[in-house]
Structure 1
């Protein structure tokens, strides 16, 4: 019987993978449902097992089954791992995704699973924490805080009850790595959490998954049931969120798990000292915890030798938006932004020039092509006024209006704010109003000459009260002042990071706000 491998990943299913799988089953094949390898332009992907290894075909429709089984199909890819998109990767965390049956314990063990947990449990907790420190692993959720330091704090914290919490509330636009890992290699996350539990002395853990991920929720619950004996005495359960973006913030997430409304807590105390139910708690996101089994199995040095500067190891970068080759690309830190967008992503799907890329989700900064030499590194992005965040990169061609994108950032913050602090709750609403005034004034540009000072005066925006100076210059200054207040006065990163897309749009694309375009090196 011919064996074929077809993804059960949510993105693959959305593209028709279930119908393709049924067609091959009806043709008499043994169908193994895997995770996605991460290149969505070739999904639904079918890999046929042969004596020489798997042969890939994609994208495929249900009507293609007979031709593929006959070895004659125009979309034959050959060895999928040898395709340029995959061959250039350094897959530490996603090595098994697209290869194994996600819910097969035998498959997981045959591909190196549980090795890290066995090594960890044979060592003292402090030795495990020291290994994490030596690896240089930093939190993959945005701030880049050293994971080993967080674990050390929880290990040293007094108290008999401690928790491990996985933040799988992947709410950033253009991100899907958490979902892909949970749907394609769930035991990897479970193993990472079990190692963390041994390292800090925890006996129970929670995986908090957004409700928009039904496949991931079910897969993780099934995987926890299957692996319960393997990870005992550590126990795990899944909690489904209700769709609030702010619950991606760690303290709001803790409130949600406790059955409360998800609102940000003031710090201190840190969750590592007084977290879930007031107990010391390790909170890491999916990619941080999923990196742990590799580090324990292969050693800290194997992980630390890859990377750039203080950013060690690999980062699963997600390419989305107007991009030719959208998908997940895991690579060591240090690759440039331009290489990711142009060489790996292939530029825009529309064929038009790239105008801007947003890195780090809806609260990430926008970068023009003139910044494409920027290395993908926490410190480099911070110095450039941005953040890596969850490593989602959204590409826009030259048809995008950056003033409207700045407005979207403010509106997103206003909608998703938990309402606890004034800078975020009120500031975002005022931000939408200010950008609306800028757009309205910008659209009356022909009337600029009618004013004595060369700016747009009050009469050009009749809806505004007379006391408001709605000139472009005044409103732009007001917007920058508001961003400064939100950045330094908000209780959490939702309000604190909203200024990043707004200010970067103002700085790099002033012409969309009615100002003169910046002079580039090419123009000079």
Structure 2
């Protein structure tokens, strides 16, 4: 398998790809008209038959999740799109919304129709202001074209879409913390059950799905469930966006069927930067256990990656060559998780703080021989005991890096600190300098 499969990315190279006219010229919104001619239950069944699994990291079957909603009781039910992309290394939903927001909006309309929702929300990170503005404009265009609003295309179906900007908390990527934030409260995970399907937004039945999951729905309805199910592998069906970053010649988004390998993706991306070789990489973002060059041929599907000891996650493939210090990389990731812990539960709040301190000590050459085992003990006290998956994710890069590179940790314990030169691992030949106008605090030099 060496061919890419542009579905979500098929218009990214078109002029003004984000415009409604560009999307419609490429066949956009034909799937919506097809869906409106179907019974809502048939749309749900089509998504179930396609085998689409959540593209936000967990990989739970999307159609099955929709089916968990209780029977209609006359009250509202909601669709919430999780666009709070913030996992280090993950960059697929943001470019999708930037380059082709109508893919998402059409998916929102079809999904809302299928589950009986009349008010949908897109929760996007407030820091990506350009994406937020583009989504607002795309929603406005969809209203003007009659794809949103009342009596959509004469079907009698009404839908309102609200684009909400979050305040930039990683924890709000967890679906119940996102719902609390959307309701105006501090973003912290809720105790489950009840699950969002029963009592979600405003205590009403709610479906929470990732951007890529929802954007994949028009293709399933338009081309058929069998088409989608025929892609990928037996249990990990369909196509997906693979984000390649780091020490690779051509980083970016590569859309391909699930089951492609990193070796094949690297061939398409020009390989690791010239003169260097692959040392380690993440298959699904920084919260997934790291892989090494020995895992180049592991099919990138949920089952194969899991059997090899990691998780497919968000398919954020961060590539690191032999110039990179594993301890430094893991320490930087741990700083992030310690900072982003919401503080609700003791294992995560206290555990990530102490992981950060021990890693800093090792990196500085001030560690002791017992510190490596201390890290593993701390991870053991967090894993499975935190309130949500943030704590578990924070332990993954530490335990996996010690498994594969314990000798590198021990090399830091000789009193000299890190044996790697950080300048060698940079992606730039030299350190970029700030423009003169920005060099001083006052704006003038």
- Say yes or no: TM over 0.5: yes
The match for 1:61 is none
Q: Residues 346-357 of structure 1 correspond to what in structure 2 (within 5 A)?
A: 346-349=270-273, 351-357=275-281
Match of 1:367 in 2: 291
CA distance in 1, matches of 2:127, 2:54: 23
Contact 1:157-1:273 within 8 A present in 2 as well: no
Residues 50-449 of structure 1: pairs in structure 2 closer than 5 A: 88-99=3-14, 101-154=16-69, 156=71, 158=73, 160-228=75-143, 229-232=146-149, 233-340=158-265, 342-349=266-273, 351-439=275-363, 443=365
State whether residues 240 and 257 of structure 2, in contact with CA within 8 Å, keep that contact through their aligned partners in structure 1: yes
Q: Distance in 1 between matches of 2:107 and 2:71?
A: 20
1:429 CA displacement: 0.8
Residue of structure 1 equivalent to 2:373:
477
**1:175 shift after superposition:** 2.4
Counterpart Cα distance in 2 of 1:505 and 1:103? 40
Q: Distance in 1 between matches of 2:391 and 2:88?
A: 17
Q: What corresponds to 1:508 in structure 2?
A: 404
Structure 2: runs of 5+ lacking an equivalent: 150-157, 413-445
Question: CA offset at residue 204 of structure 1?
Answer: 0.5
CA distance in 2, matches of 1:267, 1:349: 45
Contact 2:58–2:313, Cα closer than 8 Å, also in 1: yes
CA–CA separation in structure 2 for the residues paired with 1:423 and 1:103: 43
Match of 1:488 in 2: 384
Structure scoring higher RCO (CA < 8 A, sep ≥ 6) equals 2
1:36-78 deviations in whole A, cap 9, x for unaligned? Answer: xxxxxxxxxxxxxxxxxxxxxxxxxxxxxxxxxxxxxxxxxxx
CA contact (8 A) 2:177 2:189 kept: yes
Structure 1: 4+ residue segments shifted above 6 A: none
Question: Matches of 1:506 and 1:157 in 2, distance apart?
Answer: 51
Residue 106 of structure 1: CA displacement? 3.0
Structure 1 pair 358–280 and aligned structure 2 pair: CA distance change class (3 A): same
- Does the aligned pair in 2 maintain the 1:321–1:394 contact within 8 Å? yes
2:395 to 484, 487, 499: 499
1:100-151 deviations in Å (ceiling 9; x for gaps): 5345333322211112111111111111110000000000011100000111
- For 1:320, what is the secondary structure of its paired residue? strand
Report Cα offsets for 1:344-366 as digits up to 9, x if no partner: 22223353111111222221222
Query: Tell me, what secondary structure is at the counterpart of 1:264?
Result: coil
Aligned residues: 402
Tell me the CA shift for residue 385 of structure 1. Answer: 2.4
With normalisation by structure 2, the TM-score equals 0.86
Deviations 1:72-93 (A, max 9, x none): xxxxxxxxxxxxxxx9311122
Match of 2:152 in 1: none
Q: How big is the shift at 1:382?
A: 1.8
Whole-Å separation in 1 of the counterparts to 2:216 and 2:239: 9
Return closer, same or farther for 1:507/1:103 CA change in 2, 3 Å cut-off. Answer: closer
SS in 1 for 2:86: coil
Residues 347 and 354 of structure 1 are in contact (CA less than 8 Å); yes or no, is this contact kept in structure 2? no
Q: Deviation of residue 515 (structure 1)?
A: 7.2
Contact 1:164–1:197 under 8 Å retained in 2 = yes
* 1:390 Cα offset (Å): 1.4
Aligned partners of 2:382 and 2:332: how far apart in 1?
A: 16
Alpha-carbon distance between aligned partners in 1 of 2:138 and 2:117, rounded to the nearest angstrom: 20
Rg larger for:
1
